[in-house]
Structure 1
Amino acid sequence: MDFVSIRIITGDINRLVGFYEKITGVQAAWGNEDFAELRTAHGTLAIGSTRTVPLFAPGSARPADNHTVIIEFLVTDVDVLYEKLKNLVEDFVNEPTTMPWGNRALLFRDPDGNLVNFFTPVTPDAIEKFGR
């Protein structure tokens, strides 16, 4: 088995794809007007419109209703990125903070309210864990 992606269902796909393109610097690959992917070296963030939900199972997903998942991106320098994001992100949950497990983390919400974590390993153990 190989984990491939996580998909966000949204009521405004253009807004959400545009947001993730701006904050990640990754250009989305559009499958059609209802589906796009932001592909990175180790995973894909897929974004689908609400019109895709009935293709899987009607009523099985609701946009802007996530209260359990944090979408995480490993970044080179979370502090530098925080300064760049101040004009792009409206809802910061915290400023860059060093966590007990050794990552410096920045938590914020995307336009649909999903939690996003940009993090940089800063302790030797965390650096070794995420060394790529």
Structure 2
Amino acid sequence: MNLLSVRIITGEIERLISFYEHITELSIVRYTPDFAELRTATTTLAIGSTKTLQFFGGDEVAKPEQNQSVIIEFRVDDVDNDYERLSAYLKGSIVQEPTVMPWGNKSLLFRDPDGNLVNFFTPVTPEALGRTERN
């Protein structure tokens, strides 16, 4: 089994598409006005408007802007460089400036426009580097 995708449901899809394109410097593919994907080498971040909920059983299946438990994580080459690049853009949204965590990652934690937590991290210890390498 492989985890292929995580999806965010939003009431303002263009706002989130613009945000994730800006922070990742990657292009997002828009399949319809209500569904888009940001693809990386290891997984996909899908962004769907609330209009897509009709295909999953109705508007009560998911609620935008109410995430209180999930952190969307991106491994980056140098979290300090990304912090410098994004600090003005993320002003008011940064939860934690780059900090070395007990498990060996240096992490920058911030919120996207819908309030979802996003973590940019760089492994900085040998143990952390070993955990994040994929075969």
TM-score past 0.5 threshold: yes
Q: 1:97 Cα shift?
A: 0.3
Aligned partner letter, 2:81: V
Task: Report whether the alignment pairs 1:73 with 2:74.
Answer: yes
**Shift of residue 54, structure 1, vs aligned partner:** 1.4
- How many angstroms apart in 2 are the aligned matches of 1:131 and 1:65? 32
- State the one-letter code of the partner of 1:85: L
CA offsets 1:80-106 (integer angstroms, 9 cap, x no match): 100111122131001000000000001
Q: What one-letter code is carried by the residue in structure 2 that aligns with 1:53? A: L
The residue that corresponds to 1:117 in the other structure is 119
Equivalent position amino acid for 1:109 in 2 = R
RMSD (CA atoms): 0.9
Shift of 1:21: 0.4
Unaligned runs of 5+ in 1: none
Moved runs in structure 1, 4+ residues, more than 3 A?
Answer: none
Identity of aligned residues (%): 58
What is the CA-CA distance between 1:109 and the residue it aligns to?
A: 0.2
SS at 2:18 equivalent:
helix
2:31 alignment counterpart: 31
1:50-69 map, 5 Å? 50-58=50-58, 59-69=60-70
Q: Which runs of 5+ in 2 are unaligned?
A: none
Give the TM-score of the pair, scaled to structure 2.
0.95
1:106 to 105, 108, 117: 108
Matched residue count: 132
User: Which residue of 1 is the match for residue 94 of structure 2?
Assistant: 92
TM-score (norm 1): 0.97
